[in-house]
Amino acid sequence: MPRYALYYAPRPTESLHLFGKGWFGFDPESGTEQPYEPAHGTSAKQHLEIVSTPRHYALHGTLKPPFSLAKGMTELQLLEEVAGFARTQTPILLDPPALRSLSGFLAIVPSAASQALSDFAARCVETFDSFRAPASDAEIEKRRRAGLSDVQEENLIRWGYPYVMSEFRFHVTLTKRIGDEAALTLAETIAPRLEAVLSCAFEIRDVCVFIEPDNGAPMRLLQRFALEG
């Protein structure tokens, strides 16, 4: 069965989207393969390896993690509900982001915490939870193997994912886990390519519904909804 997610994703004309197409070799807007643009000094083989995991999920910041539809729910119902929700939500302006290593994953993160963004993500998780099929026993056990805190365990049982609500940390993942040292070295290498992103305020202007097709293909944009509140 397909899975759905609510993501932040840059608009097609934005610098981050253009970077992401070359970095992951995939355009989630069109669902098409693109030429890879590895970091300077990195071979094509090395690049494919370090982006292998995050590429599947496309360039994004998670607002509501991937989920299968609950029994009786349809894709059209989900899109209609997200459209109505987006009309009531206000765009969120953040300080210029930064490249950071998060437990060995290279990611773009806000340079300062934003309560407005945390609250928005929490609303996304809660508002659309009725559309989420319960996590399977296998999914729950897989998450537990990472070693969860009490709060994360509660989130897993209640919301189907550990890192939501108070555990939410917005990030745009660029690599699989490569270690802090390698991630920071890579950050220095690619920072010039992201200068337009890292030097400007970062704005969440849309909520995007992504779909993971049931054939295991990379996640792609299903529909984008501007925040109009």
Instruction: Give 64's pLDDT tier (boundaries 50, 70, 90).
Output: very high
Q: What is the CA radius of gyration of the chain?
A: 17
Residue 111 DSSP class: S
**54 backbone dihedrals φ, ψ, rounded to 5°:** -65, -25
Which contiguous run of DSSP H or E holds residue 127? helix 115-127
Does the global pTM surpass 0.75? Answer: yes
Q: In angstroms, what CA-CA distances link 126 with 57, 85, 161, 196?
A: 22, 12, 12, 34
Q: Give mean pLDDT, residues 131-137.
A: 94
- Residue-wise pLDDT tens digits, 161-193: 999 999 999 999 999 999 999 999 999 999 999
Which residues are CB-neighbours of 103 under 8 A, at least 6 positions away? 177
- Please state the domain extents for the chain: 3-226
Q: How many Cα atoms sit within 13 Å of 82 on the Cβ side?
A: 26
**C-alpha span between 157 and 199 (Å, rounded):** 39
CATH of domain 3-226: 3.90.1140.10
Spatial separation of the C-alpha atoms in residues 119 and 122, rounded to whole Å:
5
What average pLDDT does range 26-45 have in this prediction? 95
- What strands, in cross-sheet order, belong to the sheet with 3-8? 97-102, 105-110, 172-177, 61-67, 3-8, 206-212, 220-226
